[in-house]
Amino acid sequence: MTIGNPLDIAFVGSRMDRSDHIRTDPDLLAAVTTPAARLLRLDGLDPVISPEGRLEWGNLAEAAPDAELVFLGRQGERACFAPVPAAGSVAPANPRLWQAMATLDADELATYGGARSMVDWHARHRFCARCGQPTVPAKGGWQRNCTGETCRAEHFPRVDPVTIMLVEHEGNLLLGRQPRFPAGSYSALAGFVEPGEAIEEAVAREVLEEAGVAVRDVTYIGSQPWPFPSSLMIGCHAWADDPAIVIDRNELEDARWFSRAEVEDAMQAIAHGEGGRAFRAPPGSAVANALLRWWVSRG
């Protein structure tokens, strides 16, 4: 399906029919919740990958009787569910997670990303933020309801918007690095959109805060759902008139301008898993990589 996102990007492109009308109809939901329905196999939050490099699916007959389930939608005529990890059972991500996910095609990676965000949300919202009482799933797992007699608050999964931006000045790009990045790695600047803030305002604020660069003419390029835990990366481009940089060392270890030739070299190198002569570009799964590919393609 063509959706208008110009970025060829990870975690986008699931062919799952979300079937919202089933979520909201208890009778329809009960009718598809059968032992033969598909159940996504997860190891905590991580995917279980088959020997063929695909997501592993079982069926609901495998699920524990008291398991919390998220209705993901339908593939063909079969309903698909994902299990919520038991309380206290979520371990840190397996170091081999990215290697395992690299075997998945775009459709399956997007399906897993959506499922991971949802089951992680359930695992972190077992108690009401208003009164502290336990919550229970509703609407096929797309809602949690407080069990408190005087509260009964309804809770819904949320997506955290994050701006990530390419800043351009006279053919050069502003990129930065955080201390946690691998040696030599640089990426687009990024930051969460704050309450009461437009996307364009968030771009301008984050770039000014982190690198001391004022920007103008912010434009939207494309987006990526990022399921760690549940962000929406909003890719943008902006222009700068003054290249002077003042780095906020609480946010960045370094920031600098890179020429088109340096960016092109880094992008060619990362396609082979290598660093470029000037810097190492973000990995192919990251929205920053897609933004850099977009910029290079514009010539």
Total Cβ atoms within 10 A of residue 143 = 16
- Alpha helices, H only, 60-178: 97-101, 106-124
3-state secondary structure of 269: helix
Q: Which residues of 89-110 are buried (b: 16+ CB within 10 A; e: fewer)?
A: ebeeeeeebeebbeebeeebbb
Segment 247-262, tens digit of pLDDT: 999 999 999 999 999 9
Q: Which amino acid is at 284?
A: G
Query: What is the amino acid identity at position 107?
Result: D
pLDDT tens digits, one per residue of 138-150: 999 999 999 999 9
The CATH T-level fold of domain 160-297 is: Nucleoside Triphosphate Pyrophosphohydrolase (3.90.79)
pLDDT higher than 70, residue 160: yes
Contact between 17 and 75 under an 8 Å Cβ cutoff? The reply is yes
Neighbour-count burial for 216-247, b at 16+ CB within 10 Å, e otherwise = eebeebbbbbbbeebbebbbbbbebeeeebee
pLDDT of residue 292: 97
Element (H, E) at 73: strand 69-75
What is the spatial distance between Cα 4 and Cα 224, in angstroms, rounded to a whole number? Answer: 12
**Cβ burial, residue 40 (10 Å; 0-12/13-18/19+):** buried
Which of 169, 299, 118, 292 is closest to 222 using CA atoms?
292
pLDDT band of 5, cuts 50, 70, 90 = low
pTM to 2 decimal places: 0.93
Please identify which residue in the block is written with the tokens 């110009």.
6
- Supply 12's token pair: 């986008």
Distance CA 96, CA 54 (A): 15
Domain positions in the chain are 1-117, 125-157, 160-297
Lowest mean pLDDT among 1-10, 120-129, 219-228: 1-10
Q: Among positive and negative, which fits the CA dihedral 168, 173, 179, 185? A: positive
182-193 pLDDT, tens digit each: 999 999 999 999
At 6 the pLDDT is: 62
